[in-house]
Homo-oligomer: A and B are copies of this chain.
């Protein structure tokens, strides 16, 4: 490992954040010990403190990382050629799998973050950013005749996101995977029909 190059430090930071993200995801914030993270990284505890002032600060930066992941994820879906694929069993299936693996899908981390004023503000900010880009996009799509002019896309989109999170939560509470998948496919289809013009939907299929 080249330690003298200037980029090294930034790379190391990045590495710590991504590894910590994994561990936080698996064990939750409170059950994750700095020792756990250090062990996973294969370094000593002290090394982490060279990059992050405290566990709280590390969590802060991990959450920032998660938010950007989420944003990128949402954007990539919206901007994809086939937004209808959201309404597939596969789409939710992937989420479910990750939820079952990590026992949380990060929902508890977001809830933990919601208890912190600074992080809550940051979350609101990112949410707004996503929403703004989303609205720009849909305005364009309305003009191009892809989605209905009178559709309240904000409502539909918020509904889809909430449905996803709520269903993930139900999975964690023991709901059956098949039930959850069926629910997702049925309801997202209903919601998307409210938004997309018939003609376009047929083509998408």
- Seen from chain A, the residues whose Cβ lies within 8 Å of a Cβ on chain B are 28-31, 103-104, 107-108, 110-115, 120-121, 123-125, 127, 152, 154-155, 158-159, 161-167, 169-170, 172-175, 179-180, 182-183, 186-187, 190-191, 194
Residue from the list B104, B113, B162, B173 in contact with A167, Cβ < 8 A: B162
Give the residues in chain B near A127, CB-CB below 8 Å.
170, 173-175
Give bound CA distance, A161 to B168, whole Å: 12
Residue from the list B115, B125, B182 in contact with A28, Cβ < 8 A: B115
Give the residues in chain B near A180, CB-CB below 8 Å.
158
Give bound CA distance, A161 to B169, whole Å: 10
Q: Do the beta carbons of A169 and B115 come within 8 Å of each other? A: no
Give bound CA distance, A123 to B161, whole Å: 24
Give the residues in chain B near A103, CB-CB below 8 Å.
114-115
Q: Do the beta carbons of A111 and B120 come within 8 Å of each other? A: no
Q: Do the beta carbons of B110 and A104 come within 8 Å of each other? A: no
Give the residues in chain B near A170, CB-CB below 8 Å.
127, 158, 161-162, 165
Going nearest first, the 6 A-B pairs with the smallest beta carbon separation are: A162-B166, A124-B174, A166-B166, A30-B30, A165-B166, A114-B172
